[in-house]
Amino acid sequence: MSHPPKKNWLEPFRVAMSGVALTFRTQRHMRFHLYVVLAVIMLASLLNFGLREVLTLLFTISLVLIAEMFNSAIEAVVDLVQPTYHPLAKTAKDIAAGAVLITTIFALVVGGLLIFGDSRWESIKANLAVGGFGPPFVFRLIVGILILFFIVVIGKGLGKRGQVLRGGLVSGHAAFAFFIAIGIMALSDRWLVSGLALVLAAIVAQSRWEAKIHSVFELALGATAGTLVGLLLFVLIPK
């Protein structure tokens, strides 16, 4: 009488770790997210985050990594079932990429709130109220948004592909992300916050490339436009 083979309780863990390693080895977007995770954790240690802030940050980061892994799994299954182009296959991949984008944006918002902290937000609100960064800063922000809007629309009109709200020669997401990053740098007197603002803007741009909506050249044009407008309005023009 043969006995059933003994169950290896470590096998599920080994399989799971193999999946994580496979995702890291084959998916460049996963590698990018993990590098950002390491940078954020190092930044959190430098800013002396408390236990609750660290737990919130880790939970938010895990959502981004999980969404990226589900996105990779869905793409693999879709390619297996439908190796040729099909509108429904494209829809499944687009929705999965959209899930990654939403979690990434949510993570950026949470990270920004944690890094600025309650005291810094109160200081910014006080400055806006008393006029330290009041009408001049708000006016520059509005003017910059309007200028970028026309630049993006004109750039998309000059391109031969994409639409006004999706794709096109100039990435609007990259343009506005880097413009806001320059604005944050003008508001903040901490180089860590300024550096993180640029990293977050780069993540926004990378998410558009990951979703295959823009090429690297189109993202570079958008980032350049946003940076130049931000430098002009927040740095070069006297306050």
Q: Residue 98 burial by CB count (10 A; 0-12/13-18/19+): exposed, middle or buried?
A: middle
Quote the DSSP letter at residue 43.
H
Length of the chain: 239
* Six-digit token string for 95: 């929705």
From CA 226, how far away is CA 151, in angstroms rounded? 9
Instruction: Identify the residue whose tokens are 């306050």.
Output: 239
Q: Residue 199 burial by CB count (10 A; 0-12/13-18/19+): exposed, middle or buried?
A: middle
Catalytic residues: 68
| Of residues 92, 98, 86, the one with CA closest to residue 74 | 92
Q: Residue 231 burial by CB count (10 A; 0-12/13-18/19+): exposed, middle or buried?
A: middle
| 156 close to 225: Cβ distance less than 8 angstroms | no
